[in-house]
Chain A
Amino acid sequence: MIIVPIFFKSGNIVLPGDIVAEGNYRVSGGVTKTDNRYVSLYLGIFRIEKDGSLSVIPFKHIYIPEVGDIVVGKIRDVGVTSWLVDINSPYPAVLQLSEALSRPIDVTRVDLRQYLDIGDVIVARVIEFDYLRDPVLTIKESRLGRVTEGLLLEFQPFLVYKVLESRLKLIEEVKSKLKCDIIVGKNGRVVVMGAKDKLLRIVDVLLMIFEDFSAGSTGRIKKHISRLKD
């Protein structure tokens, strides 16, 4: 076997332009190859994934929609047959009338504001996106739609990425323990619904889940959750 150098340890902070490795590796994002060298593209954390591929997870992640993503959006503008939705991304999303209501309405008579108004928060799924056109959303599925009451939290999409990858179970536990609904949008927004009187405790746990990634933190959080009472 040929030994090829890797210049950083998994978990190190790297900068754009840092040469992370030389030779032949698989790459799973945040790294580009020029000649024989692998160069970091972001300011972030270098990782060697379980399959041996190299990646850099940026500290400030810019959310780019992908088809299938669940996102939490805010209505930015109301059009004649569509809504414009801010999804915390460089690309504003479009919610067409046909993807919002189950039966057709007469747009000449009905004001769309009575369904969704500016400032409303929605949970939606991205059903279409390429770089030439803005992302298209749908709310015609169960669990999707307008959030009538609850709490909106914003995290760095980078943290959400980490949570979705390894801590979904913890969130499920919190949900069943405190009988509330938590929706984690890929775009860094999290909605907590129900359980008005328990909001503080839920936020407390969520902050631990989303922001504490120190050694042994998962165990500590698990213990904390097990002590929670409804």
Chain B
Amino acid sequence: MSVRAVKLITEDGRRVDGRKPDELRPTTIDVGILKNADGSALIRQGNNKIIVAVYGPRELHPRHLALPDRAIIRCRYHMVPFSVPERKSPAPTRREIELSKVIREALEPAIILSSFPRTTIDVFIEVLQADGGTRTASITAASVALADAGIPMRDLVTAVAVGKVDDTLVLDLNHLEDQYGGGDMPVAMMPSLGQITLLQADGTFTLDEFKRGLELAIRGIKSLYEIQKRALKERYASLALELRRGRS
């Protein structure tokens, strides 16, 4: 049986899901959705659905992992078995272990770890439904959950991927574009400070493509940043209102 090549971009420049090349997927973030966690967030970015729970800073067990001058971050990225069309074994895969590390390192520069020596901040990321770009969506949601937990941070961290589809640079890849496209470059940054905390790439990019791609990513990050800010403010504006109304 012959497999037809997937057409990822139409003549009029629309992508498989009807987006323009520089368009993000529709994104919403809900804050404080888990009562037991110190901070939490649910992000829906296109067909991605990811829950993040943050616990801490809290006492660290086993004790020998503790650092005398700062907190450590433990991060677990995990895909639930029903998050992808074919059942995924719930055991952590190589990919998940690597992504846990990558996400942790993308968040680390933003958090003021020296405020809480000898403690741990635990970040649990559960991917409920995956459709490409889960690492970037996880970073975006995790930084919101960290802010919700009241952890001091230099800035939020926002992430998005750019990729190459038929030699066109596109923003915020979905699963098809990620699988069959010509390249994938996830970028995370602290938008307000203008510092990049994660930059990966696979596929081939020329220097010019890389530069334009990075600009595209930064534009995408700026609009995602606004969504993050709005989500956090909405959550606490309603809380502040509740406080103001008081009890009669």
Does A213 make an interface contact (CB < 8 A)?
A: yes
Q: Which B residues touch A214, using CB under 8 A?
A: 243-246
> Are A16's CB and B153's CB within 8 A?
yes
Indicate whether B211 reaches chain A with its CB closer than 8 angstroms.
no
Q: Are A32 and B154 in contact (CB under 8 A)?
A: yes
Whether B191 lies near A60 (C-beta < 8 A) is: no
In-complex Cβ contact of B244 among A32, A91, A92, A212 (8 A)? A212
Given contacts A17-B192, A17-B193, A19-B192, A43 and B148 within 8 Å (CB-CB): yes
By a CB distance below 8 angstroms, the chain B residues around A42 are: 147, 150, 152-153
A13 to B117, CA, bound (A): 28
Query: When the two chains form their complex, are residues A43 and B232 in contact, meaning their CB atoms are under 8 A apart?
Result: yes
CB distance from A126 to the nearest CB of B (A): 17
> Is B59 a contact partner of A39 (Cβ separation < 8 A)?
no
Contacts of B131-171 to chain A: CB distance below 8 A: 147-156
Contact A39 B155 (CB under 8 A): yes
Complex Cα distance, B191 from A18, in Å, reads: 10
Residues of B within 8 A of A90 (CB): 56-59, 116, 119
Q: How far is the CB of A27 from chain B (nearest CB, A)?
A: 13
Produce 1/0 per residue, B177-213, CB < 8 A to A.
Answer: 0000000000000111100000000000000000000
> How many residue pairs bridge A and B at CB < 8 Å?
97
Chief secondary structure at chain A's binding surface: loop
What 1/0 mask marks residues of chain A from 113 to 145 whose CB sits below 8 Å from any chain B CB? 000000000000000000110000000000000
A contacts with B, residue count (CB < 8 A): 32
A39 B154 Cβ-Cβ under 8 A: yes
**In the docked arrangement, what's the CA distance between A43 and B57, Å?**
16
B233 A15 Cβ-Cβ under 8 A: yes
Bound complex: CA of A39 vs CA of B150, how far in Å?
15
Is A58 close to B, CB under 8 A? yes
Q: Is B68 an interface residue (CB 8 A)?
A: yes
**A131 in contact with B190 (CB, 8 Å):** no
Q: A43–B244 contact, CB under 8 A?
A: no
Chain A 199-219 residues near chain B, CB threshold 8 A: 204, 207-208, 211-214, 217
Which one, B17-25, B43-51, B87-95, B234-242, is touching chain A? B234-242
Q: Contacts of B112 on A, CB cut-off 8 Å?
A: 32, 41
Give chain B interface residues in 4-33, CB to chain A under 8 Å: none
Q: A39-B192, A60-B149, A212-B244 are in contact. Are A13 and B237 (CB under 8 A)?
A: yes
Chain A residues closer than 8 Å to B154, beta-carbon distance: 16-17, 32, 34, 39, 41
CA distance A131 to B113 in the complex (A): 13
Is B220's beta carbon under 8 Å from chain A?
no
For B, the interface residue count at a CB cutoff of 8 angstroms equals 39
Least Cβ–Cβ distance between A72 and chain B, in angstroms:
19
CA distance A214 to B229 in the complex (A): 24
Closest B residue to A56 by beta carbon equals B152
Query: Do A92 and B59 touch (CB < 8 A)?
Result: yes
Q: Which residues of A contact B147 (CB under 8 A)?
A: 15-16, 42-43
Question: Is residue A175 contacting chain B, with contact meaning CB distance below 8 A?
Answer: no
- In the complex, chain A residues whose CB is within 8 Å of the CB of B150: 42-43, 58-62
Chain B proximity of A167: nearest CB distance (Å)? 14
Contact B239–A212 (Cβ < 8 Å): no
Closest to B191 in A: A17
B78 at the interface (CB under 8 A from A): no
Nearest 4 pairs of A and B residues by beta carbon: A60-B150, A17-B155, A212-B246, A16-B153
Sample of 25 A–B contacts (CB below 8 Å): A15-B147, A15-B229, A17-B153, A17-B155, A17-B193, A18-B192, A32-B112, A39-B193, A41-B112, A41-B152, A42-B153, A59-B236, A60-B39, A61-B150, A64-B116, A90-B119, A91-B119, A204-B247, A207-B247, A211-B243, A211-B247, A212-B243, A212-B244, A213-B243, A217-B246
11 additional A-B residue pairs with CB within 8 Å, beyond A39-B192, A213-B243:
A13-B240, A15-B233, A16-B147, A30-B152, A59-B239, A62-B150, A91-B118, A91-B119, A132-B117, A208-B246, A214-B243
